[in-house]
Chains A and B, each alone.
Chain A
Amino acid sequence: EDQVTQSPEALRLQEGESSSLNCSYTVSGLRGLFWYRQDPGKGPEFLFTLYSAGEEKEKERLKATLTKKESFLHITAPKPEDSATYLCAVQAGYSGGYNKLIFGAGTRLAVHP
């Protein structure tokens, strides 16, 4: 069964304190792994797509990496405005699987000044 597990469930950081969020996945034929940011009461906002092991992508203070079993979202010198829930999702490569995203439960990040 295709599955995504994110850890930790919640993370509290001081401003400037770098850390990483983990996304472990089990999927038949990964077509893509996605990171989204979600603010309270809003829809998920797309951040990154990763397609193959070894791939990395960066955007401002965020860097996403991918291995064959997990992905990491590294946050460098975070600011309070980075506080949000970060969602990881996978898209399977088999027929019927690539029509949907399978999400983890997310990591709630709080960055304090």
Chain B
Amino acid sequence: DTGVSQNPRHKITKRGQNVTFRCDPISEHNRLYWYRQTLGQGPEFLTYFQNEAQLEKSRLLSDRFSAERPKGSFSTLEIQRTEQGDSAMYLCASSSQGSVSYEQYFGPGTRLTVT
């Protein structure tokens, strides 16, 4: 299967700890997105990469959040000093710049629980 993969699938951490999530996009996709989804809501945009460049960040992405995409391949999302309000599903998606359509393909997500 060559879909988007995310690791870990679940993460439980104590408030104040740092966590890091990884996303591997579909291999030929040069665009990568991070979203956050809370219970009963649709995904909310966090940030966007084209190749290795981070081109857009949402207001939701506070200074405790940082994302990287070294060499334009996999991406990591780090949350420092986690808070209970960070508990959510973190979704990664990818798309192809060369495609005539604009759909984004999502990974299975990482469920974060902050206790």
Interface residues of A (CB under 8 A from B): 4, 31-32, 34, 36, 41-46, 49, 87, 89, 91, 96, 98-106
Contacts and interface: CB of A to CB of B under 8 A. Distances in A.
Contacts of B41: 105-106
B105 A46 contact: yes
Contacts of B4: 43
Contact of A44 (B102, B106, B111): B106
B108 A43 contact: yes
Given A43-B106, A43-B107, A96-B56, 18 more contacts: A32-B102, A34-B104, A41-B111, A42-B109, A43-B6, A43-B108, A44-B106, A46-B105, A49-B102, A99-B55, A100-B45, A100-B56, A101-B43, A101-B104, A102-B45, A103-B42, A105-B40, A105-B42
A89 B102 contact: no
A106 to B, nearest CB: 6
**Interface size band for B:** 20 to 34
A34 B43 CA distance: 13
B21 interface: no
Interface string B85-108: 000000101000000011111111
A31 to B, nearest CB: 6
